[in-house]
């Protein structure tokens, strides 16, 4: 049943500008409409936040702030954000409209994809996410519903509505935002959201594209979350026998439960994917998946919406009211209750059932207190420290009964200066109380100054750049009266500019002073060579000579570059020499009419002149010709016909 007509926004004009024509999709956070920008007369997608969320001032503020940030992200594989605004109770984003379907639609219709198709979709997705990660953003809600495939085949990543800055680890509302089936373990456990959560979600999507199903299933969202925490994503070849080992490696690397084992961002994963793809044969890329792996869900299951209840720390067996959860509940963008401030203590409390019985028995025997201390009290877990400041880390360690150990520093392209990159032992590791935890603090991106390159030879400039941790970039050449040929005129970024290590530096190289090319066509070859060499140019003579009716044998018939062009001193001018006109057979036109004779001679390559005399003023028949038929004459020469 079409519910578009029942939607109160359809037919309305938001903010006096955007006419809402039809509803496209309903998600957990917003509804998406097709609309027309009446000012610019273009079709776009309008994403309107659900009114129930629009009353949350902090959520709206974050929605607007993050939308403005993403609007600055320009990439061909990212759905562009054009505008943002509010109209009464409606908070909206105006975005690029992509005519086509989602990856979810493709998986629903086709099931498992061939590896080639899966990688053809994954690579532009990773390119888009890589641009976001390098710009300092994390998507946090990657799933097939947010991968758009246009009618023209272009792949775009949509719905950066949950995007957050890379250095933001936990939110302030006590909730975790995301979609159950694609949440990384650290998102579930402590709300961590750095680029590696997007890497994890992409690994799950790759598994789903290769097998037609998700890696973890269960009776409820809580069970799925538990499996993400405690079970590895299985290799795709376990579900689809015959898939290449390289594909298993891609999935395993992206979905490692320990974040430090995963590629650090989408750019790194894209490099791994391309490297693995290069090792696959054509047969491995075009392996046809079994039809039995077609997905078992219907259209209703994939509608994005809000899970109607908060989920606490997941555990097996926590099913819904009827004991089973529809797949839609696993594909929804959800607000999940965050773990309490001390998840380790909570987990210990859950596990204390059997231990408490033992303790009670030991207490009866008079030895309980010491055993309880030995088995439990002296151990604790390292709290989450990533992206915190050193002071915040010290406070967290102190609250956990631990001490701050060695403080190291390292450069990072993704973690803000002064924030923590890693800890040793890592987050969640069990260590003895009062032990020390070492941390590595970010010094921000490694920066270097572009060296002085002007006047240096190109090879030397390239070597200097590499020695300083920079990359030689594109080389362009231009004329210069001051810089000798082959030396650097300028660099971009300029000499002395402070840039990130690894930045490409474009170089402008001198072609020397410009030289005007003289016109030597028609000159004798020896004279032409002398004139060009006197101008500071080199001469090359083309091996083949050309027939020319215009130039005599031995004269220059053509030159490259042409006359009046500008070249650098020492450049080469190629000369083509004439071998004179080509000799061709003259047709016999005696007895023909004037028109027929003229046509035959011109088609053969001759010019025609008429000699009528006194008797031929009114005649129309050729009585003779200056070169007899059957003889040879230079192409382009003139044949005179006598008319009588």
Instruction: Quickly count: other Cβ atoms within 10 Å of residue 92's Cβ.
Output: 26
pLDDT on residue 565? 79
- Cα–Cα distances in Å, from 249 out to 206, 235, 244, 273? 11, 8, 9, 9
How many H helices and E strands in the chain?
18, 33
Q: Where in the chain is the domain with CATH 1.10.510.10?
A: 101-337
Output 315 or 140, whichever has higher pLDDT. 140
Domain 101-337 = CATH 3.40.50.2300: no
pLDDT single digits (tens) 569-618? 888 899 999 988 888 899 999 999 999 999 999 999 899 998 887 666 77
Q: Of 90-99, 283-292, 393-402, 530-539, which gets the smallest average pLDDT?
A: 283-292
How many percent of the chain have pLDDT more than 70?
81
pLDDT on residue 103? 94
The residue-averaged pLDDT of 179-184 equals 87
Q: Which helix (H) or strand (E) holds 334?
A: strand 333-337
First CA to last CA distance, the chain: 93
pLDDT on residue 254? 95
pLDDT on residue 369? 33
Question: What gap in Å lies between CA 58 and CA 64, rounded to an integer?
Answer: 10
Question: What gap in Å lies between CA 276 and CA 244, rounded to an integer?
Answer: 10
pLDDT single digits (tens) 490-520? 998 899 988 878 777 888 999 888 888 999 9
Question: What gap in Å lies between CA 375 and CA 369, rounded to an integer?
Answer: 10
Checking if the pLDDT of 621 tops 60, the result is yes
Question: What gap in Å lies between CA 529 and CA 540, rounded to an integer?
Answer: 9
Checking if the pLDDT of 117 tops 70, the result is yes
Q: Show Cβ contacts of residue 268 under 8 Å, excluding neighbours closer than 6 positions.
A: 199
Instruction: Quickly count: other Cβ atoms within 10 Å of residue 332's Cβ.
Output: 25
Question: What gap in Å lies between CA 422 and CA 411, rounded to an integer?
Answer: 12
pLDDT single digits (tens) 48-85? 988 877 777 777 776 776 676 677 777 889 988 888 88
In 443-550, DSSP assigns E strands to: 447-449, 471-478, 488-492, 498-500, 504-510, 514-516, 538-541
Give the model's confidence band at 192: pLDDT under 50 very low, under 70 low, under 90 confident, else very high: confident
> CB–CB of 131/75 below 8 Å?
yes
> CB–CB of 182/195 below 8 Å?
no
Of the candidates 328, 354, 350, which has an alpha carbon nearest to the alpha carbon of residue 340? 350
Checking if the pLDDT of 187 tops 80, the result is yes
pLDDT on residue 178? 61
Query: What is the DSSP pairing of strand 18-26 with strand 13-14?
Result: antiparallel
Question: What gap in Å lies between CA 371 and CA 355, rounded to an integer?
Answer: 11
Q: Where in the chain is the domain with CATH 3.30.200.20?
A: 1-97
Q: What is the DSSP string of 399-426?
A: HTT-EEEEEEEE--SSS-TTBEEEEESP
Active site residues: 141
Give the model's confidence band at 554: pLDDT under 50 very low, under 70 low, under 90 confident, else very high: very high
The residue-averaged pLDDT of 192-198 equals 89
Burial classification of residue 109, based on how many CB atoms lie within 10 Å of its CB (0-12 exposed, 13-18 middle, 19 or more buried)? exposed
**Residue 622's beta-bridge partner residues?**
643
Burial classification of residue 548, based on how many CB atoms lie within 10 Å of its CB (0-12 exposed, 13-18 middle, 19 or more buried)? buried
Question: What gap in Å lies between CA 526 and CA 17, rounded to an integer?
Answer: 75
3-state secondary structure of 553: coil
pLDDT on residue 499? 83
pLDDT single digits (tens) 124-147? 999 999 988 888 888 888 999 999
Query: What is the DSSP pairing of strand 632-634 with strand 583-585?
Result: antiparallel
The residue-averaged pLDDT of 233-254 equals 92
Checking if the pLDDT of 305 tops 70, the result is no
Q: Show Cβ contacts of residue 28 under 8 Å, excluding neighbours closer than 6 positions.
A: 304, 305, 306, 307, 332, 333, 334
The residue-averaged pLDDT of 553-570 equals 87
The residue-averaged pLDDT of 462-480 equals 87
The residue-averaged pLDDT of 523-532 equals 94
pLDDT on residue 376? 38
Checking if the pLDDT of 364 tops 50, the result is no
Checking if the pLDDT of 340 tops 90, the result is no
CA 118, 119, 123: angle at the middle one, nearest 5?
A: 125
Checking if the pLDDT of 155 tops 90, the result is yes
The residue-averaged pLDDT of 432-444 equals 88
- Cα–Cα distances in Å, from 602 out to 112, 585, 606, 624, 639? 69, 12, 5, 17, 9
Residue 179: DSSP 8-state: E
3-state secondary structure of 209: helix
Question: What gap in Å lies between CA 528 and CA 534, rounded to an integer?
Answer: 10
Q: Where in the chain is the domain with CATH 3.30.10.20?
A: 343-442, 447-510, 514-577, 583-643
The residue-averaged pLDDT of 185-197 equals 86
φ and ψ of 591, to 5 deg: 95, -15
pLDDT on residue 639? 92
Instruction: Quickly count: other Cβ atoms within 10 Å of residue 248's Cβ.
Output: 18
Domain 447-510 = CATH 3.30.10.20: yes
- Cα–Cα distances in Å, from 89 out to 54, 271, 564, 582? 7, 45, 69, 86
φ and ψ of 376, to 5 deg: -135, -50
Strand order in the sheet with 100-102: 100-102, 147-150, 155-157
Query: What is the DSSP pairing of strand 572-577 with strand 538-541?
Result: parallel
Choose from 155-169, 368-382, 521-535 the range with maximum mean pLDDT: 521-535
Of the candidates 23, 278, 314, 270, which has an alpha carbon nearest to the alpha carbon of residue 134? 270
The residue-averaged pLDDT of 282-287 equals 91
pLDDT on residue 414? 62
pLDDT on residue 634? 85
What is the helix, strand, coil percentage profile of the chain, to 5? 35, 25, 40
Residue 276: DSSP 8-state: H
**Residue 439's beta-bridge partner residues?**
407, 423
Question: What gap in Å lies between CA 360 and CA 373, rounded to an integer?
Answer: 14
CATH dotted code for 514-577: 3.30.10.20
Assigned CATH topology for domain 343-442: Trypsin Inhibitor V; Chain A (3.30.10)
What average pLDDT does the chain have?
80
Choose from 52-61, 71-80, 335-344, 452-461 the range with maximum mean pLDDT: 452-461
Give the model's confidence band at 459: pLDDT under 50 very low, under 70 low, under 90 confident, else very high: very high
Checking if the pLDDT of 21 tops 60, the result is yes
Question: What gap in Å lies between CA 390 and CA 409, rounded to an integer?
Answer: 11
Packing angle, helices 245-254 and 266-278, rounded to 10: 170
Assigned CATH topology for domain 1-97: Phosphorylase Kinase; domain 1 (3.30.200)
> CB–CB of 273/119 below 8 Å?
yes
- Cα–Cα distances in Å, from 619 out to 18, 53, 549, 610, 622? 82, 100, 32, 12, 9
| Number of residues that this document lists for the chain | 644
Task: Match 């209840």 to its residue by tokens.
Answer: 309
Q: What is the DSSP string of 492-506?
A: ESPTT-EEETT-EEE
CATH dotted code for 583-643: 3.30.10.20
């Amino acid at each position: 049943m079409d519910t578009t007509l029942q939607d109160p926004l359809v037919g309305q004009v938001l903010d006096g500008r955007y006419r809402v024509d039809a509803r496209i999709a309903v998600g957990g956070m917003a509804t998406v409409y097709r609309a027309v920008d009446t000012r610019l007369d273009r079709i776009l997608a309008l994403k309107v936040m659900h009114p129930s969320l629009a009353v949350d001032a902090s959520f709206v503020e974050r929605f607007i702030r993050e939308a403005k940030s993403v609007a600055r992200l320009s990439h061909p594989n990212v759905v562009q954000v054009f505008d943002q605004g509010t109209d009464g109770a409606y908070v909206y984003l105006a975005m690029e409209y992509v005519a086509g379907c989602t990856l979810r639609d493709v998986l629903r219709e086709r099931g498992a994809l061939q590896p080639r198709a899966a990688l053809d979709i994954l690579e532009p997705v990773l390119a888009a996410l890589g641009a976001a990660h390098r710009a300092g953003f994390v998507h946090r809600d990657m799933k097939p519903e947010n991968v758009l495939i246009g009618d023209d085949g272009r792949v775009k990543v949509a719905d950066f509505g949950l995007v957050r800055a890379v250095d933001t680890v936990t939110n302030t509302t006590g909730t975790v935002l995301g979609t159950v089936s694609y949440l990384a373990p650290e998102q579930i456990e402590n709300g961590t959201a750095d680029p590696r959560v997007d890497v994890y979600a992409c690994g799950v999507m790759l598994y789903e594209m290769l097998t037609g199903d998700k890696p973890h299933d269960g009776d409820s969202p809580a069970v799925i979350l538990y499996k993400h925490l405690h079970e590895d994503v299985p290799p795709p070849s376990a579900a689809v026998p015959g898939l290449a080992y390289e594909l298993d490696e891609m999935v395993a690397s992206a979905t490692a439960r320990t974040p430090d084992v995963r590629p650090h961002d989408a750019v790194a994963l894209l490099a791994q994917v391309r490297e693995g793809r290069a090792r696959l044969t054509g047969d491995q890329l075009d392996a046809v998946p079994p039809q039995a792996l077609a997905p078992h869900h219907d259209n209703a299951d994939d509608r994005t919406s809000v899970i109607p209840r908060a989920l606490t720390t997941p555990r097996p067996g926590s099913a819904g009211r009827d004991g089973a959860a529809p797949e839609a509940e696993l594909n929804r963008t959800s607000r999940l209750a965050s773990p309490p401030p001390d998840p380790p203590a909570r987990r210990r409390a859950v596990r204390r059932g059997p231990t408490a019985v033992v303790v009670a028995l030991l207490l009866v025997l008079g030895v309980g207190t010491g055993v309880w201390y030995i088995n439990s009290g002296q151990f604790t877990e390292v709290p989450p420290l990533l992206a915190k400041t050193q002071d915040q880390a010290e406070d967290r360690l102190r609250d956990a009964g631990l001490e701050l150990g060695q403080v190291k520093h390292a450069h990072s392209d993704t973690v803000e200066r002064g924030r923590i990159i890693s800890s040793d032992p890592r987050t969640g590791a069990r260590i003895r109380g009062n032990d020390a935890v070492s941390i590595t603090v970010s010094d921000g991106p490694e920066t270097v100054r572009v060296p002085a390159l002007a006047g240096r030879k190109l090879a030397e400039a390239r070597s200097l750049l590499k020695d300083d941790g920079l990359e030689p970039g594109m080389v362009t050449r231009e004329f210069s009266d001051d810089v000798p040929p082959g030396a650097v005129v300028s660099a971009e970024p300029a000499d002395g500019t402070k840039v990130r290590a690894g930045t490409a530096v474009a170089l402008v190289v001198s072609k020397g002073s410009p030289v005007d090319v003289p016109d030597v066509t028609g000159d004798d070859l020896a004279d032409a060579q002398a004139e060009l060499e006197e101008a500071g140019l080199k001469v090359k003579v083309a091996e083949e000579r050309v027939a020319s009716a215009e130039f005599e044998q031995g004269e220059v018939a053509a030159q490259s570059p042409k006359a009046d062009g500008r070249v650098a001193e020492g450049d080469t001018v190629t000369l083509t020499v004439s071998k004179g006109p080509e000799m061709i057979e003259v047709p016999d036109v005696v007895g023909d009419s004037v028109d027929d004779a003229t046509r035959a001679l011109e088609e053969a390559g001759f010019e025609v002149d008429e000699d009528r005399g006194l008797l031929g003023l009114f005649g129309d028949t050729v009585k003779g010709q200056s070169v007899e038929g059957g003889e040879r004459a230079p192409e382009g020469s003139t044949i005179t016909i006598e008319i009588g």
